[in-house]
Amino acid sequence: MHRRQFLLGIAATALAVKTGAIFATTTGNAGYTLPLWPGIPPGGGGPVGKMLISIKGAQSHIVEPLLTVLEPAVPNGHGVLIAAGGGYKRIEMAMEAWPAAHWLVERGYTAYLLSYRLPGEGWNDGNNVALQDAQRALRILRSREKRVSVLGFSAGGHLLAMAALRPDYRSYPLVDALDNQPARADSAALIYPIITLEKPYTHTSTHKMLVGHHATDAQEAAWSVQNYVRPQTPPVFLVQAEDDPVSSPQNTLIMQAACIREQVPVTMYRYPTGGHGFAMGRPGTLTVDWPAHYEKWLRQV
């Protein structure tokens, strides 16, 4: 084994131990995992071996898509599906998903962290695989919880919005009885999300991984969240910093306008600074305020 690989392995192990200890202290257990699919995921293909975890705690090489479930001591019957970002090239679990899960569990919510397939990792269904996983995850939550919400960051916000706004869309053939029910959410919180892939907002990794540099207008429109807002869309909660260099600040404005047009309840908080990837709040900026607003909103929807 090369020295770099050895050090990466030590770092990943330490991160996993630390994270597990935090949740064991908070919830009385370190969580458990649920496979999304009873066998080979739709389409097949994909990487082999083991999942990779970077020094910063980002997942890639997603061999088996799954849910990591963290339960509070007294569950309130409300499950929240969490998808971290990473431009569909990685999943920023340590930076975004784990802190959000910890925060939710402290407040009685059951957190489901989604390790979704990445379209650039050789899956035969290509750019559809993450959406397939998100829809399947929603169906699993719907079978286990009284209420189901989604919380997505950056590209994870794009993914969960695409799933939650199209509950009846069949992104994969029926696998078992679970797939007879819609992939429906009761509310959707999107934090510095990628919303549109349409011009001129074509610079993101999300655009590159899902439609590529030579995408047609139709392809870009098909993967743009705002085009799927309908009157039956669940209430939406939006957060973004106005100096976001990755997801244009126009993304939340575009989504807000689509919700208003379709008379969908929408709540938005925008902050002058905070950049991108501030997760549960960047110290020294007003972005630290958004979780308190989210807590109040989540209880009301």
Encode the chain (301 residues) as per-residue pLDDT tens digits: 333 333 333 343 344 434 444 444 444 446 999 999 999 999 999 999 999 999 999 999 999 999 999 999 999 999 999 999 999 999 999 999 999 999 999 999 999 999 999 999 999 999 999 999 999 999 999 999 999 999 999 999 999 999 999 999 999 999 999 999 889 999 999 999 999 999 999 999 999 999 999 999 999 999 999 999 999 999 999 999 999 999 999 999 999 999 999 999 999 999 999 999 999 999 999 999 999 999 999 999 8
In angstroms, the CA 93 to CA 229 distance is: 28
The answer to whether 220 and 207 are in contact (CB under 8 A) is: yes
pTM exceeds 0.85, yes or no: yes
Q: Where are the alpha helices (DSSP H) in 56-109?
A: 98-106
Question: Could you tell me the CA-to-CA distances from 97 to 23, 141, 261 in Å, in that order?
Answer: 13, 17, 31
